[in-house]
Structure 1
């Protein structure tokens, strides 16, 4: 698997530095929230990419449905 770079907001980076290097645990809730949001964005992007580039039509359709479910798009508004 190819290792890729991930960008995070500067404020989250600063909070991570404070937490790990300065032992400032006051922002642990914000760090958890920021990392969860980033993971959600990464998963959504991966599903979207799979919905466009998967090898078979079945895989593309499965990824498309999962992506739309995660985004909260109701069945009535799907094509």
Structure 2
């Protein structure tokens, strides 16, 4: 199983939520976890693009990565 690092602020918010029952940190936790999930998915798409075995798969992965990143068509090569 892989390990994932999270920011210290998110860890503290998780501790407050679970150990101190502080419900008010829930939006902060949701935002932090969503950001981390986006970061992970972007990294996976980039890795897929860089390690694709064929040129066709590489271009498909590249397009998917750029689409998800939000890069306009006019900025792409």
**TM-score when scaled to structure 1?**
0.90
The correspondence of residues 1-79 of structure 1 with structure 2, limited to 5 A, is: 3-79=1-77
How far apart are 1:7 and its partner, in Å?
0.6
Distance in 2 (CA, whole Å) between partners of 1:58 and 1:43 is 21
The alignment covers a number of residue pairs equal to: 77
Instruction: Show structure 2 runs of 5+ residues with no match.
Output: none
1:23-48 alpha-carbon deviations (Å, 9 max, x no partner): 11111001000100010010001000
